[in-house]
């Protein structure tokens, strides 16, 4: 009699036949006696279609109106899924975010959930209904529709699971779990049965696309037991098998077993590096350089500043490749002006490769093993950045696959 | 500084370029100093696409979930139109029905508007904004989304105009007004500059598809000055010309001029006639016959019962052709049972032709002129039904065009 939240991605909702399969799976869980809240995404392609219409009308459409438009994709999905559930003999009811209500701030197109009122949903669950709630959206204090940004349905599902103290949040997607690295790059990549939420957080931030990073943050903050699993399996597979499939995101202290040192190799292919050379080493310089970049809504990833020599220093950072030219334009303009940098160098063809693992906290030598492995392959490291549970290096794009494969083998991730 | 409500149909909203034209037209009115509320329909084809998805999943989808799904078409439209207006330099904001709120009863897929809260809209208008509101939908007392049924955007627009005491409600559509009859049938059909709401009501109920009948009822009940005009004209045409175009729906007592005797010829092609012959003429018989038909959600149009002969009577009525077979099945089943009718006769190929005009109240001889005209053409009349301002006859489908043309000429509707 557990309370379970299911989340289905756009691919899983991509056609009438797939929606029927989702309904069969949910009905199976419901008939086994569980209370179910289901959060489906918009049918695949739908959100893009809607946003393209808006972009055709205006190069810079109003974020409020974009949310008005984009939120409809999920509203269609909840209605269709409820009808499919009713066809399966399950009493189901759908709600848009504002009806629940899922309350957010007013940051249109990238709103954050502030609170979820669970009274209405609880009453429906008590009455034996399956409740289907739109992901990706909510309502702000003034009654305007907001969306959480792309991939926000993951976050909605985990947030609803947190608000309702669900026993588990199951994220159904088109992969069957979290892997030691991308199987398209390393054939020997293995699915992890468990991963800690800190590792998941690093992997998400490092480019592993399985879960949206904000959903992982939510899972960690509210300690939501979250499982990533496949929606492509037989919807009527035995429930016990399904409950053991995929990858469970756990919390360190729950773990009784010995931690693996490294859980996975993450990578981000499309990075670009920008180095502002020979800037005066004085307070406020980093802000003067990065402020205008941030103002242009460009996300900066790795940042490094070298020790200064003769009052001058080099300041290097990475951005997504799509933002490279805009960032270079801003920096070149700066270089001519008040920052007094000598040169701005850029390289739009770099990739980031990271090893991630909670276990590295208590193990020395991870960094040196990583650097040694890359050196053996003749791969030059351009930048290094570390956190408590990950080490990232920036390398030439053309060596990315080679680096991932070599590290995957060096850390024994191909061994069960 | 009038308060004006504009309504645009699905064809007018059918593409990005057409939405831009709607925005240009609205911007022109706004810049002339008027306060504007705009009610657009879903992009043409969108509502059908959404309902088809639902029907693919279930033959009898839940009406509540259908409304959840179908209401999104208009929500996309209001967002896109607001963005297009902003591109025209107009401050615009969109609202879904529940945000206004447009309050309705809980009759999903065919809800009726109970009240409209105009506070929020008024505040936006005061602030100089154009307010864009979804047609076709509202919210019931329990916060569920409802829709008003097909064509409901006309009704929404007139209801909003009534609630806000708008000076005029302009219904933009793909025809340029109300005609004396369908120009596709009679080449000489003329556009009427004015028509009374009673005539409009009869024409709508008799098959003229220009306005949804419930919107006409609303216009009459709340005395909303409503104009039907074309959205296909140059959006930047002079405002004065536009305000004189189309057909104005007026109220009899506003009319200073002499009424034309007949305003138009309406027709409904796809009718079917069912006659239950030789039923005992006793109280409750009409209900016994029609009750099961109504229970099957079949709309009955004309009803005639002849004077009884020897305690037996014939009971004849018409239904839409699409419902003919179902109605016959019900009646044939009855004939075998408790009603004791001798025979049930049916003809699925009949049409209804009507002459409509407020002027006929004070003019005798309209009926005889109508019957004489049809007789001259050798057209047999199968049924007759009259109201204060219309006379309808049922004839063989194959004579319909001929009857409409002959009557149009006989009543001088081709003369200005």
pLDDT digits (tens, 9 = 90+) for B191-235: 999 998 888 888 876 666 778 888 888 888 899 999 999 999 999
Q: Is A20 on the interface with B (CB under 8 A)?
A: yes
For B317-332, what is the mean pLDDT? 90
Asked if the C-beta of A64 comes within 8 angstroms of chain B's C-beta atoms, the answer is yes
The mean per-residue pLDDT over the stretch B361-371 comes to 83
- The verdict on a CB contact (< 8 Å) between B83 and A58 is yes
CA angle A137, A139, A145 (to 5 degrees): 70
**CB atoms B57 and A99 under 8 Å:** no
**pLDDT tens per residue across span A157-186:** 999 999 999 999 999 998 888 889 888 889
Residues of B in contact with A98 (CB under 8 A): 98
Average pLDDT, stretch A128-137? 96
- Residue-wise over B275-292: b if at least 16 C-beta within 10 A, else e? bbbbbebeeebeebbbeb
* A244-276 per-position pLDDT tens digit: 999 999 886 555 555 567 889 999 999 999 988
pLDDT at residue B255 in the model: 55
Confidence bin at A336 (pLDDT 50/70/90): low
Residue B19 touches chain A, beta carbons under 8 Å? yes
Task: Check the CA dihedral A23-A26-A29-A35 and report its sign.
Answer: negative
pLDDT of residue B259: 58
Res. A228: pLDDT tops 60: yes
Q: By the CB < 8 Å criterion, does B50 face chain A?
A: yes
State whether residue A145 sits within 8 Å of chain B by CB. Answer: yes
Which of B79, B97, B106 best probes binding to A when mutated, by most A CB atoms within 10 angstroms?
Answer: B79
CA of A15, closest CA in chain B: separation in Å?
9
Tell me the average pLDDT across A97-124.
94
C-beta separation of B230 from B172 below 8 A = yes
% of chain A surpassing 90 pLDDT: 62
Average pLDDT of chain B? Answer: 89
Report the complex ipTM: 0.80
Q: How far apart are CA A20 and CA A22, in angstroms?
A: 5
Least CA distance to B77: which residue of chain A? A69
Return the pLDDT at A257. 52
> Which of B16, B69, B98 lies closest to A57 in CB terms?
B16
Q: How far is A124 from chain B (nearest CA, A)?
A: 13
Q: Which two tokens stand for residue A262?
A: 């490294």
CA distance A330 to A332: 6
Q: What string of DSSP letters covers B314-341? A: EEEEEEEGGGHHHHHHHHHHHHHTTT--
Q: Select from B53, B99, B145 the Cβ nearest to the Cβ of A80.
A: B53
A320 has which bridge partners?
A271
At A399 the pLDDT is 95
Q: Is pLDDT above 80 for B334?
A: no
CB contact under 8 A, A83 and B93: no
Contacts of B333 (CB under 8 A, 6+ apart): none
Taking CB atoms and an 8 Å cutoff, what residues of chain B touch A79?
54, 65-66, 68-69
Number of C-beta neighbours around residue A375 at 10 A: 11
> Are A75 and B72 in contact (CB < 8 Å)?
yes
3-state DSSP assignment of residue B211: coil
- Percent of chain A residues past pLDDT 70, beyond the cut: 94
Can you give the pLDDT at residue A229?
94
Measured in whole angstroms, the distance separating CA B327 from the mean position of its chain's CA atoms is 24
pLDDT at A289 over 90: no
Give the whole-angstrom CA distance, residue A348 versus residue A318: 9
Confidence of residue B339 (pLDDT cuts 50, 70, 90): low
Whether A38 has a pLDDT exceeding 70, the answer reads yes
CA distance B233 to B241: 11
pLDDT score at A309: 76
Contact call for A79 and B66, based on CB within 8 A: yes
Let me know how long chain B is.
416
pLDDT given at position B1? 78
Interface A:B, Cβ pairs < 8 A: 102
Q: How many CA atoms lie within 13 A of A157 on its CB side?
A: 34
Rounded mean pLDDT, B41-62 = 95
pLDDT value, residue B340: 60
What is the layout of strands, in order, in the sheet containing A35-40? Answer: A92-95, A130-133, A35-40, A3-8, A168-173, A226-230, A247-250, A194-196
Percent of chain B at pLDDT exceeding 70: 94
**Cβ of A297: how many Cβ atoms within 10 Å?**
8
Collect all residues with Cβ–Cβ distance below 8 Å to A7 and sequence separation of at least 6: A38, A39, A40, A41, A135, A153, A154, A156, A157, A158, A169, A170, A171, A172
**CA dist., res. A31 & res. B294, Å (int):** 38
Contact status of B374 with chain A (Cβ, < 8 Å): no
More confident residue, A358 or A71: A71
H or E stretch including A176?
Answer: none
Which of B24, B77, B80 to mutate to test binding with chain A, by most A CBs within 10 Å of its CB?
B80
User: For residue B295, what are the contacts with CB-CB under 8 A and spacing of at least 6?
Assistant: none
Q: B83, B142, B144: best mutation site toward chain A, by most A Cβ within 10 Å?
A: B83
Out of B57, B72, B93, name the one closest to residue A19 (CB): B57
Do A157 and A167 meet the contact criterion of CB atoms below 8 Å apart? no
Q: How far apart are CA A250 and CA A67, in angstroms?
A: 33
User: Does A235 lie at the interface with B, CB-CB under 8 angstroms?
Assistant: no
Asked whether the beta carbons of B51 and B70 are under 8 A apart, the reply is yes
Query: Which residue of B lies nearest to A93 if distances are taken between CA atoms?
Result: B65
Using an 8 Å Cβ cutoff, are A327 and A233 in contact? no
The partner residue sitting opposite B65, judged by closest CB among A16, A19, A94, is: A94
Which SS3 state, helix, strand or coil, does residue A80 take?
helix
Tell me which residue in A56, A83, A98 faces B58 most closely, judged by beta carbons: A83
From CA B390, how far away is CA A360, in angstroms rounded? 89
pLDDT at B60 over 70: yes
pLDDT score of A94 more than 60 = yes
Helical H runs in B6-118?
A: 16-31, 46-57, 63-70, 72-87, 97-100
Taking residues A365-382, report their average pLDDT.
91
| Residues of chain B neighbouring A80 (CB-CB closer than 8 A) | 53-54, 57, 65, 69
Q: What's the token pair of residue B229?
A: 């005009």
**Model's pTM, two decimal places?**
0.83
A225-239, B275-289, B313-327, B383-397: range with lowest mean pLDDT: B275-289
**Ranges A145-149, A322-326, B358-362, B389-393: which has the least confidence:** B358-362
Please state the φ and ψ torsions of residue A307, each to the nearest 5 degrees: -60, 140
Tokens of A264: 């996975």
Distance, CA of A204 to CA of B69 (rounded, Å): 33
User: What is residue B398's predicted lDDT score, i.e. its pLDDT?
Assistant: 95
């Amino acid at each position: 009699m557990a309370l379970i939240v299911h989340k289905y991605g756009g691919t899983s909702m991509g056609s009438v036949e797939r929606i029927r399969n989702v309904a069969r799976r949910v009905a199976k869980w419901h008939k086994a006696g569980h209370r179910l809240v289901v959060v489906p995404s918009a049918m695949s392609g739908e959100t893009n279609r809607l946003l393209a219409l808006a972009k055709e009308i205006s190069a810079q459409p109003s974020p409020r109106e974009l949310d008005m438009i984009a939120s409809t994709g999920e509203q269609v999905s909840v209605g269709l899924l409820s009808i499919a559930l009713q066809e399966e003999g399950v009493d189901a009811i759908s709600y848009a975010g504002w009806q629940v209500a899922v309350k957010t701030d007013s940051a249109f197109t990238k709103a954050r959930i502030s609170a979820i009122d669970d009274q209405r949903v609880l009453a429906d669950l008590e009455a034996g209904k399956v409740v289907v709630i739109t992901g990706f959206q909510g309502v702000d204090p003034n009654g305007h529709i907001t969306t959480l940004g792309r991939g926000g349905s993951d976050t909605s599902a985990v947030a609803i699971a947190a608000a309702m103290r669900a026993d588990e949040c199951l994220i159904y997607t088109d992969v069957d779990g979290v892997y030691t690295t991308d199987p398209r790059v390393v054939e020997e990549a293995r699915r992890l049965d468990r991963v800690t939420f800190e590792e998941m957080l690093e992997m998400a931030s490092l480019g592993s696309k399985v879960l949206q990073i904000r959903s992982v943050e939510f899972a960690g903050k509210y300690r939501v037991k979250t499982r990533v699993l496949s929606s492509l399996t037989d919807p009527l597979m035995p429930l016990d098998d399904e409950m053991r499939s995929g990858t469970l995101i756990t919390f360190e202290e729950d773990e009784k077993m010995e931690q693996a040192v490294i859980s996975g190799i993450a990578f981000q292919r499309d990075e670009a590096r920008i180095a502002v050379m020979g800037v005066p080493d004085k307070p406020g310089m980093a802000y003067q350089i990065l402020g205008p970049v941030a103002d242009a809504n460009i996300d900066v990833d790795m940042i490094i500043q070298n020790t200064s020599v003769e009052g001058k220093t080099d300041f290097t950072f990475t951005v997504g490749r799509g933002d490279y030219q805009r960032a270079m334009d801003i920096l070149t303009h700066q270089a001519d002006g008040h920052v007094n940098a000598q040169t701005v160098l850029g390289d739009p063809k770099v990739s980031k490769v990271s090893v991630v693992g909670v276990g590295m906290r208590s193990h020395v030598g991870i960094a040196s093993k990583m650097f040694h492995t890359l050196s053996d392959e003749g791969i030059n490291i351009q930048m290094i950045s570390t956190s408590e549970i990950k080490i990232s290096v920036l390398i030439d794009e053309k060596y990315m696959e080679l680096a991932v494969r070599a590290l995957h083998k060096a850390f024994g991730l191909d061994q069960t």
